[in-house]
Amino acid sequence: MFQKVLIANRGEIACRIATVLRARGVRSVAVYSEADAAAPHVRLADEAVCVGPAPVPQSYLNQDAILAAAQATGAEAIHPGYGLLSENAGFARRCAAAGIVFIGPSPEAIDAMGDKAVARATAAAAGVPVVPGSGGAISDDEAAALAEGIGYPVLVKAAAGGGGIGMQVVTKPEKLARSLQTCRDRGASSFGSDAVYLERYIESPRHIEVQILFDHHGHGVHLFERECTLQRRHQKVVEEAPSAFVQARPDLRDGLYASALALGRAIGYRGAGTVEFIVDPEGRHYFIEVNTRLQVEHPVTEAITGVDLIGWQLDIAAGAPLTLTQDALAIQGAAIECRVYAEDPAKSFLPRPGTIERFDAPTGPGVRVDAGVEAPCEVTPYYDPMLAKLVVAGADRPEAIARTRAALGAFVVEPLTTNLAFLATVMEHDDFQAGRYDTGWLERLAKGRL
């Protein structure tokens, strides 16, 4: 095991990693921006190095400063957390060149999964279902023939687009030509390319992901699925493990696990990773992408399996074999994570930086709070609005929901505006309790359309 590890992150995940390191007797080095000098993650670590001014590109993404901090403190490894440098293959290569272990998969695996076209082709070659479609740029004639083959509605996307820009849902053949033109125009003006591709449009989808863990020797396991359908602006808000929808459909469940493991093997994955899928209302699953890092919502998996994912990341990075076996893993109960954000759900989830004077995290059976803030503290506009994660486990889903409701009622963050009351509304809603929702449900709830 390592003697000293640098944590290249901030907020709750930096705090959590520091806590795991301390429990294992490994010394920790925090990095921080000038705006975070008094942040909890700085005090939790054994040492701390300032890596630059508040804006992320100048501090938490400042590779030179972070590598220099690792060398100056003698850290043997860097844990990137999630976001920031965690999926940056170039940074992983620079760590290797400097003789520092990057705690994550190989730069080749990060690169392969970071390129959407390569990831899709790799998945298809490994026998993993992908959304039926062109998989690459096509002509108008090819688009018409393909759409006929896979059936309407279809989705036309600007190949260079992103974040929903340059996307059109086409419901019937008569409308295809016009949508193709609109997408080509939009792509050309916004992204400098008029290339478009076409795929089946999945209506009322669910977002389901499978946790995988592989060691250096190619031994890997899956740790079941997480239900991440409740999102706003394509960002997750409430996650669960397991997914009641998946568990009620054994074919879907087994297919998801087999797909995730097949893909992990195909790319020679190492460490903790997540394979994301879209699932249609009929229970067919399609590969979306691989997150080659720890996920924000990993604690729900830890809650139902008893496996410490960060602990395994450290062990695997240090070269230890994965001693977990698939047969020994089982789902125990149910867990729900609520992300507590500094934002106003009534105003399109507008972020609300501000001051925390009171921060009372709930406690109780099955309740875990991973927080990156404390009272008093300043929540600055420079970083992500997530303040903390409330993770609650129960013997089954109804018990987890009941305990989450109680915990949300006891959670006090003042005077900052947060989504705590909105999260309680979600827990109390009949649709949520019955598991009836899709990826658009949360935004409809916030707009009072349910």
Site string for other proteins, 50-89 (x = CB under 8 A): -----x----------------------------------
Asked, as a colleague might, if the bond just before 242 is cis with ω within 30 of 0, I would say yes
Residue with Cβ nearer other proteins (27 or 352): 352
Among 173, 381, 398, 409, binds other proteins (CB under 8 A): 381
Q: Smallest gap, in angstroms, from Cβ of residue 294 to other proteins?
A: 19
293: annotated active-site residue: yes
Q: Which amino acid is at 138?
A: I
Q: Smallest gap, in angstroms, from Cβ of residue 82 to other proteins?
A: 13
Q: Which stretch binds other proteins (CB under 8 A): 219-227, 383-391, 396-404, 426-434?
A: 383-391
**Which position has the token pair 């390592």?**
2
The structure tokens listed for 103 are 């705690």
Residue with Cβ nearer other proteins (48 or 416): 416
Residue with Cβ nearer other proteins (2 or 382): 382
DSSP assignment of 268-283, as one string? T--EEEEEEEEE-TTS
Q: Put the strands of the sheet holding 77-79 in their side by side order.
A: 47-52, 27-33, 4-7, 77-79, 101-102
Q: Which amino acid is at 94?
A: R
Q: Smallest gap, in angstroms, from Cβ of residue 440 to other proteins?
A: 19
**Which position has the token pair 């486990």?**
393
Q: Smallest gap, in angstroms, from Cβ of residue 233 to other proteins?
A: 8
- Decide if 403 contacts 394 (C-beta within 8 A): yes
Cα–Cα distance, 258 to 128 (Å, whole number): 8
Catalytic residue among 10, 16, 293, 397: 293
Question: Which alpha helices (DSSP H) does 85-175 contain, by range?
Answer: 89-97, 107-114, 116-125, 140-150
- Decide if 4 contacts 69 (C-beta within 8 A): no
Give the contacts of 42 (CB within 8 A, at least 6 positions apart): 30, 32, 36, 48
Residue 35 parent element (H or E):
none
Site string for other proteins, 262-301 (x = CB under 8 A): ----------------------------------------
Calculate the CA 343 to chain-centre distance: 19
Cα–Cα distance, 396 to 262 (Å, whole number): 30
Among 224, 383, 432, 441, binds other proteins (CB under 8 A): 383
- Of how many residues is the chain composed? 450
Residue with Cβ nearer other proteins (4 or 352): 352
Residues near other proteins (CB under 8 A), total: 14
Q: Smallest gap, in angstroms, from Cβ of residue 342 to other proteins?
A: 7
CA dihedral 290, 293, 299, 304 (to 10 degrees): 50
- Decide if 314 contacts 297 (C-beta within 8 A): no
Please report whether residue 353 would count as binding other proteins according to CB under 8 A: yes
Please report whether residue 440 would count as binding other proteins according to CB under 8 A: no
Among 264, 372, 385, 394, binds other proteins (CB under 8 A): 385
Residue with Cβ nearer other proteins (197 or 383): 383
Among 384, 392, 401, 441, binds other proteins (CB under 8 A): 384
Q: Smallest gap, in angstroms, from Cβ of residue 354 to other proteins?
A: 7
Asked, as a colleague might, if the bond just before 299 is cis with ω within 30 of 0, I would say no
Residues 223-242 interacting with other proteins (rule: CB under 8 A): 233
Q: Which stretch binds other proteins (CB under 8 A): 95-103, 293-301, 328-336, 350-358?
A: 350-358
Residues 397-436 interacting with other proteins (rule: CB under 8 A): none
Q: Which amino acid is at 85?
A: L
Residue with Cβ nearer other proteins (54 or 68): 54
Residues that bind other proteins (CB under 8 A): 55, 233, 342-343, 350-354, 381-385
State the catalytic residues: 293
